[in-house]
Structure 1
Amino acid sequence: MTETATLEDRSYIAHGNAEYDPGARTPLPWRSSSRLASALTLVLADSIAWIAAAAIIYIIRTMIWGHIPLYWAVYPLGLSWLFFRAASGLYPPIGTSQPEELRRSFRTTATAAVLHLVVLTGTDELTAWRIAGLALWPVLFPIAYFCRSFAKVLLLKHNLFGVPHIIIGTGPTGRQVVREMRRNAELGIIPVAAFETSTHHDSKVEGVPIVESIDAVHDFDFPYPVRHAIIALENTPRGRQRTSELAASLSKKYPYVQVLTNVADMPNLLIRPRAIGSFLILEIRRPSLLPRQRVIKRILDLAISVPVFLVATPIIAAAAIGVKIVSPGPAFFSQVREGTNGKPIRIWKIRTMVPNAEGRLAEYLAANPAAQLEYERTLKLRSDPRVIPKIGRFLRRMSIDELPQLLNVIRGDLSLVGPRVMLSHEVQRFSDRGQQLRREVPPGLTGFWQILYRNNSDIQIWESADSYYVSNWSVWLDLWIILRTVRVVLTGAGAF
C-alpha cells in the first residue's frame, strides 16, 4: 500500500466514512511516531497561543501607556507554563475527558499567573503596567483552547493523534463502543482492528477492519506496537466468563487491558474503583447541584450572557430586519416550553419559519411518508418546508435565531448550559428517569447534545446526552461546552 493510500484510508476512519472498505482483513495503518508528532504539535499550538495572548496584552498596554518593552520575566514564565502543562499530561492528553483537559489547562495557567505575581512581588516590580501584564493569563486560557482544538483537528486529519486500540467483540456492545470512539476522536482512543465473536461475513465493524476471531487475538501480530485492548463482550453469563478469562490472558501481551463494564445506563465521570477483599466495586458519586454550586452556575451565566447579549444586540436587530423584509409577520417568535421542575417558561427566538408553519408541516408529512418517519424519530427535518428560504436556513445554521434566548438566561429561565429546552409533549417521549434528571436543572441555551450531535441524532440520543450532562455536571464541563459551542457554531457542523 502506498503512503498516499495509507493516509486516505486512515482519513476515512478518522472521519467516519461509512463507505470505507479495508479490503483484506488487515489492521489500519498506523505510525509509531504519532504520539511524538502530536506532542510536538500541541506544544507548538500552546506556544502560538502564548505569543498571541502576549501580543494582545502588549497592544492594549501600548495604547494606554505608550511603548514599553515587555517585562523580562514574561519569557521564562511562558516556558514555565509549558513545563506545568507537560507535567499535567497535556502533551498529549490521551484518554483524558475534555472537561478534565480543560481543568488541567486552567490549573496550569492559574499556577503560571500566581508564579508571575510572586516574581513581581519578590523583585519589587509592582508598577501599574507590569501588574497589567497579569492579564495575559486569563486571555491566554481561551486562546489556548481554540489553538489546541485546531491542532487536534489537523492531527486527526493526518492521523497523527492518539494511540491504537484493538476491540475484542463485534456484537451490539462492541459496535457501540467503536461508534463512540470514532465520534469522540479527540480523546485519542483510536480503534485500528477488531476481533469478532463469531464467524460471519462482515469485514469491518463501524468502519474498523475485523481481522480475526477472538481465538486468534493472542497470536495476532501487528506491524506496529499495540499496547491497548478493550474487551467489549455482551453482558451475559457466558460473556462475563469469557471477559474474565480474556482479561487475565491478554494482560501478558497487552500492557493496558480495559474491560467494558455494565454501567451504560449510568455513565458518570466520577466513577472510582474500590477494592473489598478480592472483589472490585465501582463507586458512583453523582454531582447533584447543591445550593453553592447553583450560585456558581448562576454567576457564570450572568458573567458571560450579559456582555455577550450587549455585543449580540446589533446582530439580533439586523437579523430581525432581514426576516421582516423577506417574510410577512413578526420578526420574533415565542413559545412556552418546559423549564426547571417541569414549570412552563416562555422562550424567545428570531422567527425562521413561514406563517402557518404547522399547517404546512402537516401537509408535507401527509404527502411524504419518509419525512413522517424522520420527523417521528428526530423531531427534525433536513428539508423542512417551514423554514424561510435562504435567510431562515442561514440563521438556523449559525444559531443566530437562538440569540434572543440570552434574555431568558439573564432572567434565570434558562442557563447557558443545560439539557435542551423542549416542549412538554416532547419531554414525555423520554423515559421516566430521563424526565426526572432533566427537570433537576435549568434547560440550557446550549448543551452536551448540541455540541456533539446537534441535528444528527434521534430522541434516544437526546435523552442519553441530557442525562449524561446532569449526571456529570461540573464547572469544567460547562466551560468546555461553552467553548466547544463557539467552535460548532462557527463551523455550522451538524446544523440544518
Structure 2
Amino acid sequence: MSLRAPEAEPQTEGLLEALAVSAAREPDRWDATRPGRRLGSRRLRLVRVGLLLSDFGALLLAFLGAGLLVGAGTSPLELGLFALTLPAWAIGAKLYGLYDRDGERPDHTTVDDVGRVFHLTMVGTWLLYAAGAVTGIAHPPVAEVIAFSFLTVGAVVLGRSIARAFIRRHHSYLQNTVVVGAGSVGQLIARKFLLHPEYGINIVGFVDAEARELAEDVGHLALLGPPERLQSIVELLDVERVVIAFWDGSHREALELVRSLKDLDVKIDIAPRLHELIGPSVGIHTVEGFPLVGLPSLRLSRSSRLLKRALDVSVSTLGLLIVSPLLALIALAIKLDSRGPVFFRQVRMGAGDRTFSVLKFRTMALDADEQKTALAHLNKHGSSNGGASLFKIPGDPRVTRVGRFLRRYFLDELPQLFNVVRGEMSLVGPRPLILDEDRHVGEWARRRLDLRPGMTGLWQVLGHSAIPFEEMVKLDYLYVTTWSLRNDIALICRTIPVVLRGGGGAY
C-alpha cells in the first residue's frame, strides 16, 4: 500500500508552481484559450478522419466486389452515382453517431458499431435503390444491391477494426484524465483505466482534499491538489476528461465543481451511487425534469431464459462440429507431452447452488494439487483479510509445455462446450467458482447463481486473471442483474480478440 503523507499539500503547491513556470516558458503548449490545443479535440479529429477514410475505402471495395460477384459492369454512370453515395454515407453515419462515440465513451469498440452500421446500410441502400427506380436514373439488379449491402456491412466493420487499431497507437489519441476522489471508488476507476491502455486514457492523478491511502497498483499516481484547484489543474496539465468519483464534498460543492469546468471543453464522467446495480441496459427517464435511473427487472423472464438457452445450444453445437478436428489434435499433443489423462474435471458451483463437473483439457502435471500448498506463497491473488482469493501463480511451474500454450489462447477451455450442450454452463455468464471460493461470496452476491456460469463473461473481456476476486464477483453480479441478449452477443464478439491476442490463464 502507498500512503500519501500529510505534507502532500505543500508538495502539490510546488507541483503547480513548477507547472506555472513551464507554462510561462512554453505558452503555446499551455495556452488554455488556444483553439485546438486540447488532446481530446485532436483525438476526436483523428478518430473522425480515420473512420471516415476507412468507411469510404470499405464502400469502394463493396461496390467493386458486388459488381464482380453478380458479373455486372461499372459504367461511368454507376461510378458517378457511387460517388454521390459517399457524402450521403458521411451524413448518415454522423446522424447515427458513428463518428462521435469514441470521444464520449473510452471503451467504445467496433462491436458497438455493428448494429448501427447494419441499420444504416440497409436503410440507406434500399432508399437509394428506390429513388433510382422511381426517377429512372439507375436500376441495378436486385442481386447486386443485396451483395453490395452485405459486403458494405462486412467491409465497414472490418475496416473500422483495422483503423481503430492504428488510431489508438497515435499519440494524439491519448486523453489526459484526472479522477476527483481518491477513495476506494476513485482508485477502482483508475485501476480499470490502467488495465486497459487501449482506451487511450492517461491517468494524470487524483484530485482530493485529503491524503488517502492508495493501493499498490495505483500508488504511483499523484495527488494533484484539492477540488478547489481543479480548474487550474485542468488548464495546466491539459486535462481533457474529468471523472468525478466519491469524495467528502457536499452536493453543492460537487455541482459547483462541474459548473467550474463548463468553459474548459472537458469531458465529464460521474460515478453514480449504487453503481454496482447499473449496467449498459439501464435507461434514464425524467419526471417533471427530475432524472431517474431505471433498473431492469432483477429476474429474467421465461422467454429470456429460453432465448439465452437457444443461443447456447445452437452456437455450442455448431462450435463443436467446427472445432472437433482441433480437439483431436490437442488431445494427441497432451498425451505426447506428459503422462496422465487428456481431460481435467473439477467440481464447480452452478446455477441454483447446484454443483457440476467442469470439463477442460489437462494443462498441469498429475501432482499439481499436491504442489499447491508448497506454492501458496507465490499466489498473486492472495487474500490479506482471510477471504477468498483466486489461485494464480505467474509462470506456474506445475503447467506443462503444451498446457502453457493452451492456456495462452484459452484452448484448454474448449471442452466446456460439452458443459454448455448439457445445460450445465452457458456461453456467457458468471465465472464458475470452485466450492472453496464460492463459500466466500457475500450473501448480497448470491444472485450471480441465478444464471448458468459461462465460458466467457465480463471478467473475461475486462481483465481475466488480472481482476481481484472481489471485483470479479461484482462483475458477475452486474452481468446477471443487467442481462440482455444483445449484451451476450457483444461479449461473445469481444471475447474473440481477447483470445486471438493470447495472454490468457486458466481459471
The TM-score normalised by the length of structure 2 is 0.76
What are the within-5 Å matches in structure 2 for residues 107-146 of structure 1?
A: 107-117=116-126, 123=133, 125-126=140-141, 128=143, 131-137=146-152, 139-140=154-155, 144=157
Cα distance 1:416–1:152, how it changes in 2: closer, same or farther (>3 A)? same
Gaps in structure 2 of 5+ consecutive residues: 1-13, 23-28, 31-37, 134-138
Q: Which amino acid aligns with 1:170?
A: A
Q: Secondary structure at the match of 1:455?
A: helix
Q: Is 1:410–2:418 an aligned residue pair?
A: no
* TM-align CA RMSD: 3.9
Match of 1:176 in 2: 188
Q: Is 1:295–2:306 an aligned residue pair?
A: yes
Of 171, 188, 191, the residue aligned with 1:159 is 171
Of 227, 244, 256, the residue aligned with 1:214 is 227
**2:51–2:99 contact (8 Å) kept in structure 1:** yes
Of 40, 43, 53, the residue aligned with 1:34 is 43
Of 458, 470, 475, the residue aligned with 1:448 is 458
Cα distance 1:41–1:257, how it changes in 2: closer, same or farther (>3 A)? closer
What are the within-5 Å matches in structure 2 for residues 245-394 of structure 1?
A: 245-251=256-262, 257-273=268-284, 281-286=292-297, 288-362=299-373, 364-365=374-375, 369-371=377-379, 374=382, 377-388=389-400, 390-394=401-405
Q: Which amino acid aligns with 1:330?
A: P
**What are the superposed Cα offsets for residues 118-144 of structure 1, whole Å, 9 maximum, x if unpaired?**
55567465555654444425644xx71
Match of 1:472 in 2: 482
**1:99–1:476 contact (8 Å) kept in structure 2:** no
| Residue 87 of structure 1: how far off its partner (Å) | 1.7
**2:104–2:267 contact (8 Å) kept in structure 1:** no
**What are the superposed Cα offsets for residues 344-379 of structure 1, whole Å, 9 maximum, x if unpaired?**
3333222212223212323x33xx534497486322
| Residue 288 of structure 1: how far off its partner (Å) | 4.3
**What are the superposed Cα offsets for residues 217-262 of structure 1, whole Å, 9 maximum, x if unpaired?**
344562587565433342x5x5545324434544465676544332
Cα distance 1:120–1:306, how it changes in 2: closer, same or farther (>3 A)? farther
Match of 1:486 in 2: 496
| Residue 391 of structure 1: how far off its partner (Å) | 0.7
**What are the superposed Cα offsets for residues 1-57 of structure 1, whole Å, 9 maximum, x if unpaired?**
xxxxxxxxxxxxxxxxxxxxxx95659996342221121112234445556666777
Distance in 2 between residues matched to 1:217 and 1:195, nearest whole Å: 7
Cα distance 1:96–1:299, how it changes in 2: closer, same or farther (>3 A)? farther
Distance in 1 between residues matched to 2:289 and 2:143, nearest whole Å: 61
Distance in 2 between residues matched to 1:410 and 1:77, nearest whole Å: 46
Match of 2:6 in 1: none
Cα distance 1:455–1:230, how it changes in 2: closer, same or farther (>3 A)? closer
Gaps in structure 1 of 5+ consecutive residues: 1-22
Cα distance 1:223–1:100, how it changes in 2: closer, same or farther (>3 A)? same
**What are the superposed Cα offsets for residues 311-339 of structure 1, whole Å, 9 maximum, x if unpaired?**
21111111110001111222222333232
Tell me which moved more, 42-51 or 449-458: 42-51
Cα distance 1:264–1:166, how it changes in 2: closer, same or farther (>3 A)? same
| Residue 99 of structure 1: how far off its partner (Å) | 7.7
Cα distance 1:167–1:81, how it changes in 2: closer, same or farther (>3 A)? same
Cα distance 1:254–1:70, how it changes in 2: closer, same or farther (>3 A)? closer
Q: Which amino acid aligns with 2:207?
A: F
Distance in 2 between residues matched to 1:55 and 1:407, nearest whole Å: 43
Distance in 1 between residues matched to 2:339 and 2:499, nearest whole Å: 27
The TM-score normalised by the length of structure 1 is 0.77
Distance in 2 between residues matched to 1:181 and 1:115, nearest whole Å: 37
Q: Secondary structure at the match of 1:347?
A: strand
Q: Which amino acid aligns with 2:429?
A: G
